[in-house]
């Protein structure tokens, strides 16, 4: 595939000289440099599994059924226990 790059004159000159020293074409030198810089394409990340609820089991079935109000009461009680004050 053809493309046009706008490179600084000094960089292009150095690349051409390096290609001659290595006995390669400028195309091959630039292609190899891009491959090194970009590395191999990474494998796609596996899809994350969705968490299945409940995440942990309760020793007393039904004890984890809490309403938002119940959770708020427990958080307030913990705040008092930890910090001596409610939120």
Whether the per-residue pLDDT at 79 is higher than 70: the answer is yes
d(CA 12, CA 82): 66
What's the confidence (pLDDT) of residue 86? 61
Task: Please report the DSSP string for 18-75 in residue order.
Answer: HHHHHT--HHHHHHHHHHHHH-SPPPPPPPPPPPPSPSS--SSTTTT---HHHHHHHH
User: Are 86 and 79 spatial neighbours (Cβ–Cβ below 8 Å)?
Assistant: yes
What's the confidence (pLDDT) of residue 46? 78
Q: Could you tell me the pTM of the whole model?
A: 0.44
pLDDT tens for each residue of 43-75: 677 788 887 776 777 777 766 677 889 889 989
Q: What is the mean pLDDT of residues 15-34?
A: 94
- Hey, where are the domains in the chain? 9-38
What's the confidence (pLDDT) of residue 65? 74
- What sign for the dihedral angle of Cα 21, 23, 26, 32? negative
Residue 11: its H or E element: helix 9-22
Select, from the ranges 5-9, 37-41, 80-84, the one with the highest average predicted confidence (pLDDT). 5-9
What's the confidence (pLDDT) of residue 10? 96
């Amino acid at each position: 595939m053809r493309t046009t790059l706008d490179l600084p004159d000094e960089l292009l000159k150095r690349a051409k000289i390096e290609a001659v020293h290595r006995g390669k074409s400028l195309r091959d030198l630039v292609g190899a440099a891009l491959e090194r810089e970009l590395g191999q394409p990474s494998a796609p990340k596996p899809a994350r599994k969705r968490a299945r609820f409940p995440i942990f089991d309760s020793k007393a079935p039904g004890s984890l059924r809490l309403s938002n109000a119940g959770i708020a009461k427990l958080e307030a009680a913990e705040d008092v226990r930890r910090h001596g004050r409610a939120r």
